[in-house]
Amino acid sequence: MAILSAGARLDRLWCRGTEFLGCRYALMGGAMSWVSEHHLVSAISNAGGFGVIACGSLGPDGLAAEISATQAETDKPFGVNLIVMHPDLDDLVAVCLDQGVTHVVLAGGMPPSGIVRRLKDGGIKVVSFAPSAGIAKRLIRVGVDALVIEGAEAGGHIGPVATSVLAQEILPAVREVPVFVAGGVGRGEAVVTYLEMGASGCQLGTRFVCATECIAHPAFKKAFMRANARDAVVSTQVDPDLPVIPVRALANGGTRRFLEVQREIAARYRSGELTQERAQLEVELFWAGALRRAVIDGDVEGGSLMAGQSVGMVSREQPTTEIIDELVAQALSALTARDLREAG
């Protein structure tokens, strides 16, 4: 029997992912609001990965402009991340259909079956986040074409379960569609580990924040380069009647201010000034504004420095191509090292 080279084995390990995404490497860019715009997204796709536009709070016109700008900078496939709670979701879907987007990643909750069906009927491949094996099965029944499982090590809004645990729970149980692993992935060795467990590829966000093509403010990038894994902490919920989705970010004045904001909003909720739904929305609006102040304006003390625990692996600014080449080289080295151990 012929022995495959490390490159051939890596190609085989993530072939389901590369075929689904239509790219050379099954490395998805995590959709980070204000960060994952056309410059970074096109750079990731041009480097052989799969860039994903973060729609975030953009309206239909803003999203259309981002898609057009990305298409002008790359002829490679890329996707669009839509938040299912967005009030203009129907119009955003229409934009994706009109602009010829090939993949849409639905995040922020269980996607409505009608939205999934509308996207698929328009020829778009649908990806969704699965926080458990049970929800993964439900999503498959709804008709999604692929899944992302993201662990608590990720930056931004997170779930409570570690990536390694989610991978052990979901990868053996889900074979019907490609599954991409995210959360704390910062090196190629980790990518190989998840591929060998059954993943079709991996998604990385924090690793790309300090890409040369990323428009994040120099002060924002510098905060990432100085940080280590322990600096990326999870927000605390103050009021038991005001549940908020935990957010992982670098500890600073903004994370402390969030505690005060929660108390202020909770007091208004308890006085009857705000409904619970409105109170929760105001909590989320804090993060949207604080993140923009940090990423765009460079307010690294009062803004939000959303980052995953892999931030300690970000040590310098690099071209996106160099980042992806490093990840692939690390993956190949891991496979080669295994061959040497087995041969010895």
For tokens 């970074």, the residue is: 40
User: Which segments of 78-193 are extended strands (E)?
Assistant: 78-83, 103-107, 125-129, 146-150, 156-157, 179-182
- pLDDT means per 10 residues, the chain with 344 residues, are 79 98 98 97 98 95 98 98 94 98 96 97 98 96 98 95 97 97 98 98 98 98 98 91 88 93 92 90 86 96 97 97 98 92 77
Among residues 69, 65, 60, the alpha carbon closest in space to that of 39 is found at 69
How far is 255 from 234, CA to CA, in rounded Å?
Answer: 9
- Angle, vertex CA 55, rays to CA 183 and CA 265, nearest 5: 80
- As given in the structure block, the two tokens for residue 119 are 């996207």
Beta strand 156-157 pairing with 125-129: unpaired
The domain ranges of the chain are: 6-215+315-336, 228-306
Rounded distance, CA 181 to CA 130, Å? 10
* pLDDT at 38 (0 to 100): 98
Beta carbons within 8 Å of 61's beta carbon, 6+ residues apart? none
Q: Name the β-bridge partners of 295.
A: none
> What are 47's two structure tokens?
């480097």
142 phi, psi to nearest 5 deg: -65, -25
Look at residue 338 in the predicted model and tell me its pLDDT: 85
What is the maximal distance between C-alpha atoms in the chain?
74
Degrees, nearest 5: CA angle 71-212-285: 75
Predicted local confidence at residue 2, as pLDDT: 46
| Per-position DSSP letters for 229-244, written without gaps between them | GGGEEE-----TTS--
pTM reported for the whole predicted model: 0.95
What is the pairing mode between strands 156-157 and 247-250? antiparallel
Yes or no: say if 186 and 327 are a contact pair by the CB < 8 Å rule. Answer: no
Instruction: Note the CATH number of domain 6-215+315-336.
Output: 3.20.20.70
pLDDT at position 244 is: 80
DSSP string covering 210-223, please? TBTT--S-HHHHHH
